[in-house]
Structure 1
Amino acid sequence: MTAPGRRSSTFTRLLRHGFTDATSAERLLDSAELAPVRNDPVLLEALGATADPDLALRGLVRLLEAQPSPAARRQLLDTVIAAKPLRDRLLGVLGASAALGEHLARHAADWQALAGYEPRDLHPGVAEFERCLAGADDPVTLRVAYRRCLLSIAARDVCGTTDVAQAAAELADLATATLRAALRIAGAAAPEDAALCRLAVIAMGKCGGHELNYVSDVDVIFVGEAVDGADENKALQAATRLASHMMRICSETTVEGSIWPVDANLRPEGRNGPLVRTLSSHVAYYQRWAKTWEFQALLKARPVAGDAELGEEYIAALAPLVWQAAERENFVADVQKMRRRVVENIPAAEVERELKLAPGGLRDVEFAVQLLQLVHGRADASLRSGTTLDALRALAAGGYVGRVDAAQLEDAYRFLRSMEHRIQLHRLRRTHLVPEGEADQRRLGRSLGLRTDPVGELNREWKRHAAVVRRLHEKLFYRPLLDAVAQLAPGEARLSTEAARERLVALGYADPAAALRHLEALASGVTRKAAIQRTLLPVLLGWFADSADPDAGLLNFRKVSDALGKTPWYLRLLRDEGAAAQNLARVLSAGRLAPDLLMRAPEAVALLGDGDGGGLEPRGRAHLEQEILAAVGRAGSAEQAVTAARGVRRRELFRTAAADIVGSYGTEDRPAEADQGALVDRVGAAVSDLTAATLAGTLRAVVRDTWGDELPTRFAVIGMGRFGGHELGYGSDADVLFVHEPREGVDEREAAAAATRVVSEMRRLLQIPSADPPLLIDADLRPEGKSGPLARSLKSYGAYYRRWSLVWESQALLRAEPVAGDADLGRRFVELVDPLRYPARGLDEDAVREIRRLKARMESERLPRGVDPKLHAKLGPGGLSDVEWTVQLLQMRHGAEHGALRTTRTREALAAAREAGLISAEDAAILDEAWVLATRVRNAVMLVRGRAGDTFPSDVRELAAVGRYLGYGPGHVGDMLDAYRRTTRRARTVVDELFYGA
């Protein structure tokens, strides 16, 4: 026995070298087998470098015990101590694989298979493995020879001499050699069968893809043909016997265990189909009956054994069918559904440990890559690889996947495959579950090079890579562009000149020659940008054609692409981010306003994606005001400040317009919004909030440049009309009043002069010529109209309204709401005007008659000549004016007694009147529908023409574009106009009754 003092020292050294059971390890080191080297520090250090030093030491002792003589034992020890390459390989295997340790204990001389590998021999192929298996003439010797070859692959793997992809390829080559050896043994056992037939073995799955696991089913398909002159039925029966025998040789368990199961269930009809078919039978099945997943499986098919010529004929016959599979109806949806079904079938108790099938697992990588291959590989032969990593690199090189995404996906795939390999290597058992035991996780982590905190680091790295896979799988596998590309005919997907010209004509492009020039400019060349454009354009052409003006959509796309051509994120966004490409196509072909805004701020394309760019959800007033005030604070002058505010306004107008267009048009995945009122409310609130924030920024700039921190008088901007009602359209003026109140100690004349100067400067700054949509301030609703002062004090407003206010002014004040400046002053202004707009006793008949007279006068004076009144959205019968004046009359009559009527918003007031019983639910619905429709018509005209208008355009293409926005497809413009007349006619009937008392 070792002395206690020495034992303690050795015990400590063992713990330091990674042993967990130092007591047992110390006892083994004191055994007779290790006596010659027990004190050699080289051995202890080498053991400590393994995945499991305890397991490696036990395996070494068992191997020494199995040596046939003391001389053989001494030879092994001397070689281990003297030869570092062998020492690392042998101990590395013993520390990672209990199963291979047992093999070495049974076959004590096989350790010498690890001693002969020099650098030039590190990556053996099928031929080298066939030589190693050449002497195996029965199933038992084949298993032994197979394990000996496996031992050498594992040694290179655990020592890092090969990477995970090379190890997987070597395992596939070893499987190929083993299948050939097994078929040779089967043929030797039944030479009469071998003489009757030609039999080809086609590898599928991971073996076919050169990415096999240590322990996995080897998926195969068999093809048989009769030799010349032989009966076909007898030949197929002979081929079936040979195939069955070959499968048994590999799959059956003997004293040496089994090799691996050979699985032929991927064949036509699965288990119910014949094991061997002729080539013509295979082709007929795939042409008529095969399901989508069967073509996906054929991606990895390659001949590996038997008749090589027949195997190549099989691949040549079926490959074209594989690359046509994406044209099948619902192809992309079927593949996606199959992946979801796999996840759903994982036992709940295993899903958190499942390395292969769970979300974020290996199957996510494989399915994403295969789907991209099948969709894009029709037109790009460079993608047609059966090996996942090779295909992923080809997808990245071709621009179908971002280079960063591809690199991250490859890193994650390699890590997860390495985990899978090391888990299986331990017991040579087929499993994809991460072990739960701490000792197993510790060995696994150390085998992957994680030494500081093996268990913790393993779980962190595993979860990190799984999260990357899950994110990128969702991004790539469910990419909307995929389904659109899959629906293209092969010629369309290639964008050849002739095919493109024919397609452009068929899609309705008015000038196919100009369109072809745009396509040539965008997609020619060998750059990565051109490659991505070639992927995008065939789909975009169809999306542009879904609009009223596809030529304009394509032209606008070229302009945006030219403007952002050197911006790396632009094309990546369209290729990768959700519905960004389809959203852009809709926006660019919907009219002039949104494209014009985008041309002046091309970076706003980022808003069309689903990522961190902000999306299409409008920003609230507080957020906008904060951003604009911050920009104003950074600006050097008032002019620069307003320029900065206009930049924010431009971007946000684009966001609002794009959201409106996308919501109106819809997509296949997201139908147009059913609630048209919600679309109108969203636009009105967004434009109103943006206008308020812009005015707040302009006010801040004026005050800062002239007075510094504080104006001599409190100052507020009151929104009126549609502005106060949160109902601004894209082309609406901003109706406002300006109110001020002198600060303590400030002369009223000084205060009035300061307020007037503020208003004048604000108007000047906002009227500086710009390419952006104008923001016009209209103060004509102020007391005395154009003849009155631009700004009044609160006291002056009170005096005017008490003495001179007319009924139309009370009506106008129904929309009054503070929008910028001093909030307290704004609140007190509202308190001042509330009694006027909601009179305590309602309206007398004289006031009602005056309101009716004013409305009739307005319509007769303002309705443009030559315009069909029934199609005028603002002043026509049943239009905006009819509905709004009717609602406002109800508010003035009943607002004092019904608090819910006290709102500046038309639709809210209408709903409140319905709830109060002042209007029937049916009549309220009729008025609401007409108001929403008329508002949408005005918004549509501005979006399509780029300038405001209250009537339907006369230009045929513009009228069709308005129809498309309102949900009417090609050829249905007449239906749109009929529907508008019908809706407004019903509304006018209600107005006649409620407003005119008819």
Structure 2
Amino acid sequence: MTTPGRRSSTFTRLLRHGFNDASAAGRLLDSPELASVRNDPVLLDALGATADPDLALLGLVRLVEAQDPGGPETPDERHLLLDTLLSSKPLRDRLLGVLGASEALGDHLARHPRDWQALVTYEASDLHPGVEEFEHGLAEAVDPVTLRVAYRRCLLSIAARDVCGTTDVAETAAELADLATATLRAALAIARGAAPEDDALCTLAVIAMGKCGGHELNYVSDVDVIFVAEPVNGAAGAEGADESKAMQAATRLASHMMRICSETTVEGTIWPVDANLRPEGRNGPLVRTLSSHLAYYQRWAKTWEFQALLKARPVAGDPDLGEAYVETLAPLVWQAAERDNFVPDVQKMRRRVVDNIPAAEIERELKLGPGGLRDVEFAVQLLQLVHGRADVSLRSGSTLDALAALAAGGYVGRADAAQLDAAYRFLRAMEHRIQLYRLRRTHLVPEDERDLRRLGRSLGLRTEPVTELNRAWRRHAAVVRRLHEKIFYRPLLDAVAQLAPGETRLSADAARERLVALGYADPAAALRHLEALASGVTRKAAIQRTLLPVLLGWFADSADPDAGLLGFRKVSDALGKTPWYLRLLRDEGAAAENLARVLSAGRLAPDLLLRAPEAVALLGDSRGLEPRGRDHLEQEILAAVRRADGAEQAVAAARGVRRRELFRTTAGDLIGSYGTEESPAEADPGALVDRVGSAVSDLTAATLAGTLRAVVRAGWGDELPTRFTVIGMGRFGGHELSYGSDADVLFVHEPREGVDDQEAAKAANQVVAEMRRLLQLPTSDPPLLIDADLRPEGKSGPLVRTLKSYAAYYHRWSHVWESQALLRAEPVAGDADLGRRFIELIDPLRYPQEGLGDDAVREIRRLKARMEAERMPRGADPTLHAKLGRGGLSDVEWAVQLLQLQEGWAEPGLRTTRTREALAAARAAELISTEDAEILDEAWVLATRVRNAVMLVRGRAGDTFPSDGRELAAVGRYLGYEAGTVGEMIDDYRRITRRARHVVEELFYGAVG
């Protein structure tokens, strides 16, 4: 009799061993069947180590109950089981591990109580059985019922190795596939034995597809197959009647084989055999000849059908016919990526699968949901089909083997592959253990707490099984989701898929022919670059071999493919030992295409990149090419200045930031103008012009602020004896700097309280001189020249004045041209309060009350006429000069500025330093018609883009179209013109600026009667 104290002690001990229902467990341990072992600590420890000790104990009691108790002449099988269980740790771990993880296998053992002996053997040959061993285990099966029993006995041994950790998840999946192979062979043998007359008419082969074909089967899954058959004579000239009879016989054999595996008997079912992956699916004939299969795949097959054939593997029936099937269709599989819209079709198919998941299940869907197993499989298969055309090492039906090959070949980053491998293994292990419990086909994570606890413990999570399971599951799913998006939707994939057959790996002769066809002017030099980049067996060379065929096409879509390839080699050489560089191009968004566009569009951006090659990283981030604001730039530059030793080092640091940010701006401009597959060309050229003008102006202002701070720190420490500010003028003040513009400025100072005027003036002049010296130090960067010629008295006047001096000058001596110049004045660096007061000083000059008088208007007209006559370069075509020519920048700006001088006092919208904003305000105020405003705006934007294009293409500033053919073509590409249409570009420019000149003449010269 059990005492209360003993019951309490037992209850506590059972809870400590992981039992969920200690009371029920205690009653089971007190049952007569376990009387001899109820107090054995070895048994309790073994039960406590299982996924579900309660389930394991119940299964053990049922198994012991089912044993023959023996008699006078027969042994007691109960004692044999328990004695063997306690004396053999391998058996104990295997048997109890299975009973604690699988209710279904516990039921099987209760029905077939001697099958536990299949777990006794623990020899090396037993650890990893193959098809032959499983065939031996199924050899005695003569009908569907005995086949099921033998199948479950073999499954029992697989599950035992799995739950004990003797095999990993990939090995378990492979064993399940091998058992399925043996089962299909046994079922086919039974079907043949039942119909020898059919067997005599045909040769039949069974091709495994899906997870069975890929050696990665689940515990419970449809086994996908395709049947191929031939008449027994197999001759090409076989009579039609013979073939028809053979196909009918083969269909009967195949149908019988499927029923043997799929139908439910007293022993349950094995698994459904699914032949719906065959040509035409369930609407097509179950069995076809090899020639019929080939004809279908050549003419009618859809993209997904070739994807399915990746895993095709002959498993039963005639092995020669099975191999012939795979060998015949393999070339079609590896040509599938060349089909129109191949990559988008595969991507759409994956999205459709997700869209069809019921909303209530999507968060629990382990296989099909976002971040699930199918995400890994689809990503791997897509990469295989695209790159496996040329690389036979990728042609594996196994997901994990193919993933390892993709990583070894450089198609997937090693870190990404390792994370995907780990996530896939974990998710497949979850799937295995969920299915193992009741041997039901499901991919949904259970919701019941006890089920989750058993699942977590089965995966080795013992402290807080449910919490740990959910955390690990969500972490791995998030990794899969992130990497699936990164790899599966990689733009490079579609580009590689679109290459013609053979172009993914080029021989020297083929490469030369392709280079000539693509328009490379010097194919010999290009071949040397290709050889230098892609030769060898290193991972770097392997990735380059993937990238280069695509990059060659992108370079060719420019005016100068040779320059693009040369630039790519230089950047690759500079970053050759940087691990992230090639990984970025292969993996991140449109980075590779962006780089190709930038390198082949001219000299400025590549020159900037070669001096700061790490800026390549900007090309991989969708936000990386967005210009940074002035505040952020100034903060970074000022921080760099603080860290520097001395003014020259400080300005060098500021130049480094400027170099990187100029590259950011030029790259964004080029890609916005050229467009890529991922980011089409921007439709609004004005938006590009505004973005470039603001970015370059902000960068110039931040650089001047940093230079000013460096000069003050080096000469005076924390504070200059006089307040000092820099006023931006011209395009600088108007936020309209182009890549090659000088920075027009005024310098203003104001002595601090108690500081002598002469001391203040000396300090201010020293600051200006030192700023100019530092900014003019020799450098390979684009120059940053500050021009103070718009100051009072021009070149003859002092470089810097006090605010009072400016006030006195403007009061007594100011000319109308100075009022016009001050329209663009805006503080850009230095003392903000002093800058604000300078603006307050000049506002009455630039927005004069009641506007300009007639004399002032005539003076402005005279000045403009003089400028056109004197400043136009000798020999320049006035119809093509972007700055001073007909309808160019100067024409539009003088017309707009005249409106500002005349009407700015009354129209607040005109009080802006920006040309396009002022023009829009004039239109809003009905000072100019909408049509005329649009004509002027279009001409101004076009002329600005021409100047930017010239600088981008030639690497030096210019106001006219280049005379060199390649450079002119590159300008055309920037402006959106296709190759061979530069004549159209010139005609358009002349037409647009001619219309603008007509508006300017009416507006500017018709202002005064």
2:750 is matched with: 741
Asked whether 1:558 is paired with 2:563, we answer: no
**Which whole-Å CA distance do the structure 2 matches of 1:393 and 1:556 have between them?**
32
1:766 is matched with: 775
The alignment of Structure 1 onto Structure 2 pairs a total of residues equal to 996
2:147 is matched with: 142
Give 1:476's match in structure 2, choosing from 465, 487, 491.
Answer: 487
Give 1:227's match in structure 2, choosing from 227, 232, 237.
Answer: 232
Give 1:331's match in structure 2, choosing from 320, 342, 345.
Answer: 342
Within a 5 Å distance, the mapping from 1:895-910 to structure 2 comes to: 895-910=904-919
Within a 5 Å distance, the mapping from 1:500-539 to structure 2 comes to: 500-539=511-550
Asked whether 1:980 is paired with 2:989, we answer: yes
**Which whole-Å CA distance do the structure 1 matches of 2:894 and 2:46 have between them?**
92
Please give the secondary structure, in 2, of the residue aligned with 1:819.
Answer: strand
Q: Do 1:203 and 1:220's aligned partners in 2 also have CA atoms closer than 8 Å?
A: yes
1:122 is matched with: 127
Question: Which letter does structure 2 place at the counterpart of 1:442?
Answer: R
After superposition, what is the alpha-carbon deviation per residue over 1:620-670, rounded to whole angstroms, capped at 9, x for unaligned? 101110110110000000000000000000000000000000000012332
For normalisation by structure 1, the TM-score amounts to 0.99
Question: Which letter does structure 1 place at the counterpart of 2:839?
Answer: V
1:543 is matched with: 554
Give 1:659's match in structure 2, choosing from 638, 657, 668.
Answer: 668
**Which whole-Å CA distance do the structure 2 matches of 1:789 and 1:319 have between them?**
82
1:238 is matched with: 249
After superposition, what is the alpha-carbon deviation per residue over 1:433-452, rounded to whole angstroms, capped at 9, x for unaligned? 00011111111111000111
Q: Do 1:495 and 1:534's aligned partners in 2 also have CA atoms closer than 8 Å?
A: no
1:499 is matched with: 510
Please give the secondary structure, in 1, of the residue aligned with 2:692.
Answer: helix
Asked whether 1:251 is paired with 2:256, we answer: no
**Which whole-Å CA distance do the structure 1 matches of 2:454 and 2:797 have between them?**
87
**Which whole-Å CA distance do the structure 1 matches of 2:842 and 2:758 have between them?**
24
**Which whole-Å CA distance do the structure 2 matches of 1:543 and 1:595 have between them?**
15
What is the deviation of 1:317?
A: 0.4
Question: Which letter does structure 2 place at the counterpart of 1:207?
Answer: C
Please give the secondary structure, in 2, of the residue aligned with 1:672.
Answer: coil
Question: Which letter does structure 1 place at the counterpart of 2:522?
Answer: D
Please give the secondary structure, in 2, of the residue aligned with 1:668.
Answer: coil
Give 1:456's match in structure 2, choosing from 467, 474, 485.
Answer: 467
Question: Which letter does structure 2 place at the counterpart of 1:18?
Answer: G
Give 1:832's match in structure 2, choosing from 838, 841, 844.
Answer: 841
Please give the secondary structure, in 1, of the residue aligned with 2:35.
Answer: helix
Asked whether 1:437 is paired with 2:442, we answer: no
Question: Which letter does structure 1 place at the counterpart of 2:22?
Answer: A
Please give the secondary structure, in 2, of the residue aligned with 1:995.
Answer: helix
2:212 is matched with: 207
**Which whole-Å CA distance do the structure 2 matches of 1:276 and 1:739 have between them?**
92
Q: Do 2:910 and 2:922's aligned partners in 1 also have CA atoms closer than 8 Å?
A: yes
Question: Which letter does structure 1 place at the counterpart of 2:218?
Answer: N
Question: Which letter does structure 2 place at the counterpart of 1:142?
Answer: L
After superposition, what is the alpha-carbon deviation per residue over 1:344-375, rounded to whole angstroms, capped at 9, x for unaligned? 10111100000000111000000000000000
Q: Do 2:51 and 2:457's aligned partners in 1 also have CA atoms closer than 8 Å?
A: yes
Q: Do 2:590 and 2:678's aligned partners in 1 also have CA atoms closer than 8 Å?
A: no
1:412 is matched with: 423
After superposition, what is the alpha-carbon deviation per residue over 1:672-721, rounded to whole angstroms, capped at 9, x for unaligned? 10011000000001000000000000000000011000000011110000
1:69 is matched with: 69
Within a 5 Å distance, the mapping from 1:673-684 to structure 2 comes to: 673-684=682-693
**Which whole-Å CA distance do the structure 2 matches of 1:994 and 1:477 have between them?**
57
2:396 is matched with: 385
After superposition, what is the alpha-carbon deviation per residue over 1:398-448, rounded to whole angstroms, capped at 9, x for unaligned? 010000000000000000000000000001000000001111111111100
Give 1:606's match in structure 2, choosing from 599, 617, 635.
Answer: 617
Q: Do 1:638 and 1:701's aligned partners in 2 also have CA atoms closer than 8 Å?
A: yes
Q: Do 1:590 and 1:944's aligned partners in 2 also have CA atoms closer than 8 Å?
A: yes
Q: Do 1:104 and 1:110's aligned partners in 2 also have CA atoms closer than 8 Å?
A: yes
Asked whether 1:792 is paired with 2:801, we answer: yes
Question: Which letter does structure 1 place at the counterpart of 2:14?
Answer: L
**Which whole-Å CA distance do the structure 1 matches of 2:294 and 2:781 have between them?**
62
Question: Which letter does structure 1 place at the counterpart of 2:68?
Answer: P
After superposition, what is the alpha-carbon deviation per residue over 1:135-171, rounded to whole angstroms, capped at 9, x for unaligned? 0000000000000000000000011000000000000
Q: Do 2:491 and 2:677's aligned partners in 1 also have CA atoms closer than 8 Å?
A: no
Please give the secondary structure, in 1, of the residue aligned with 2:226.
Answer: strand
1:98 is matched with: 103
For normalisation by structure 2, the TM-score amounts to 0.98
1:990 is matched with: 999
Please give the secondary structure, in 2, of the residue aligned with 1:870.
Answer: coil
1:180 is matched with: 185
**Which whole-Å CA distance do the structure 1 matches of 2:833 and 2:78 have between them?**
97
Question: Which letter does structure 2 place at the counterpart of 1:666?
Answer: G
Question: Which letter does structure 2 place at the counterpart of 1:253?
Answer: T
1:23 is matched with: 23
What is the deviation of 1:749?
A: 1.1
After superposition, what is the alpha-carbon deviation per residue over 1:166-195, rounded to whole angstroms, capped at 9, x for unaligned? 000000000000000000000000010011
Please give the secondary structure, in 2, of the residue aligned with 1:347.
Answer: coil
**Which whole-Å CA distance do the structure 1 matches of 2:102 and 2:380 have between them?**
32
**Which whole-Å CA distance do the structure 2 matches of 1:946 and 1:301 have between them?**
56
Q: Do 1:193 and 1:238's aligned partners in 2 also have CA atoms closer than 8 Å?
A: yes
Q: Which aligned runs of 4 or more in structure 1 are off by greater than 2 angstroms?
A: none
After superposition, what is the alpha-carbon deviation per residue over 1:704-758, rounded to whole angstroms, capped at 9, x for unaligned? 0110000000111100000000000100000000111111101111111111100
Within a 5 Å distance, the mapping from 1:577-726 to structure 2 comes to: 577-610=588-621, 615-726=624-735
**Which whole-Å CA distance do the structure 1 matches of 2:833 and 2:277 have between them?**
76
Please give the secondary structure, in 2, of the residue aligned with 1:714.
Answer: strand
Judge which range, 713-722 or 63-72, deviates more: 63-72
Q: Do 1:742 and 1:751's aligned partners in 2 also have CA atoms closer than 8 Å?
A: yes
Please give the secondary structure, in 2, of the residue aligned with 1:207.
Answer: helix
2:73 is matched with: none
**Which whole-Å CA distance do the structure 2 matches of 1:48 and 1:904 have between them?**
80
Please give the secondary structure, in 1, of the residue aligned with 2:700.
Answer: helix
Please give the secondary structure, in 1, of the residue aligned with 2:266.
Answer: coil
1:6 is matched with: 6
**Which whole-Å CA distance do the structure 2 matches of 1:713 and 1:749 have between them?**
10
What is the deviation of 1:17?
A: 1.1
Asked whether 1:857 is paired with 2:862, we answer: no
What is the deviation of 1:117?
A: 2.6
Asked whether 1:190 is paired with 2:179, we answer: no
Question: Which letter does structure 2 place at the counterpart of 1:63?
Answer: L
Please give the secondary structure, in 1, of the residue aligned with 2:577.
Answer: coil
What is the deviation of 1:120?
A: 3.3
What is the deviation of 1:859?
A: 1.2
Question: Which letter does structure 2 place at the counterpart of 1:732?
Answer: S
Please give the secondary structure, in 1, of the residue aligned with 2:565.
Answer: helix
CA RMSD of aligned residues (A): 0.8
Q: Do 2:696 and 2:739's aligned partners in 1 also have CA atoms closer than 8 Å?
A: yes
Please give the secondary structure, in 1, of the residue aligned with 2:502.
Answer: helix
Asked whether 1:806 is paired with 2:815, we answer: yes
Gaps of 5+ in 1: none
Question: Which letter does structure 2 place at the counterpart of 1:609?
Answer: G
**Which whole-Å CA distance do the structure 2 matches of 1:156 and 1:574 have between them?**
43
Asked whether 1:341 is paired with 2:352, we answer: yes
Please give the secondary structure, in 2, of the residue aligned with 1:493.
Answer: coil
2:962 is matched with: 953
Question: Which letter does structure 2 place at the counterpart of 1:602?
Answer: P
Question: Which letter does structure 2 place at the counterpart of 1:631?
Answer: A
1:880 is matched with: 889
Q: Do 2:209 and 2:223's aligned partners in 1 also have CA atoms closer than 8 Å?
A: yes
What is the deviation of 1:490?
A: 2.2
**Which whole-Å CA distance do the structure 2 matches of 1:699 and 1:560 have between them?**
33
1:59 is matched with: 59
Please give the secondary structure, in 1, of the residue aligned with 2:142.
Answer: coil
